[in-house]
Amino acid sequence: MKVIGIKKPLEKEFLNHIEDLVDTEAVKEMKKIVHHGKTTTFEHCLNVSYYNYLICKKLGLDARAAARGGLLHDLFLYDWHTVTLANGHALQHAKRARINAEKYFDISPLERDIIEKHMFPLTFYALPKHRESFVTTLTDKYCGALEVITHRWDKLRRK
Ligand SMILES: [Fe+2]
Ligand SMILES: [Fe+2]
């Protein structure tokens, strides 16, 4: 497994935190759904999961919940390029991901908050309750931007 912007092998501790989730059908389903550029939803979630782990470990926060919540934060399980939701994907998908995460896994209240609040401040009414959730709002945007830029850059280089 590879994380965007990271060349060194991923820590065993990080892999231990997420290994039971990675092999499930629900998480594997995210490999079939393209998210940003050419990045699949699984790759994006793994990127967020890893940066969550690194930052939360450094800050003395719950790195395990941050890694697990990060991996499940976009478990909405539909192609947002083709499926139209009543209130739009941007506002709705975090809730959808939380519902799926609860359906398929036994998630903690902290993991639930990380998943459901990750679109803050766009979803200003869903204020994160935990520092790990705030970290996720940043890692999600950072990884998303990096994924789009990398994709555009690859396209430009091929021209
Ligand atoms: Fe998201
Ligand atoms: Fe995301």
In order of start, what are the domains of the chain with their CATH numbers?
24-158 (1.10.3210.10)
Residue 159 alpha carbon to ligand 1 centre in Å: 30
- Give the pLDDT of residue 81: 82
- Give the pLDDT of residue 82: 82
The answer to whether the Cα torsion of 68, 71, 77, 80 is positive or negative is: positive
Residue 93 alpha carbon to ligand 1 centre in Å: 6
Ligand nearest to the CA of 40: 2
pLDDT in tens, 28-75: 999 999 987 789 999 999 999 999 999 999 999 999 999 999 999 999
pLDDT > 90 in the chain, percent: 82
Residue 70 alpha carbon to ligand 1 centre in Å: 10
Mean pLDDT, residues 71-93: 88
pLDDT in tens, 99-117: 999 999 999 999 999 999 9
Q: How confident is the model at residue 16 (pLDDT cuts 50, 70, 90)?
A: very high
d(CA 139, CA 145): 10
d(CA 65, CA 56): 9
- Give the pLDDT of residue 84: 77
Asked whether the predicted pLDDT for residue 139 surpasses 90, the reply is yes
d(CA 64, CA 53): 7
Asked whether the predicted pLDDT for residue 143 surpasses 90, the reply is yes
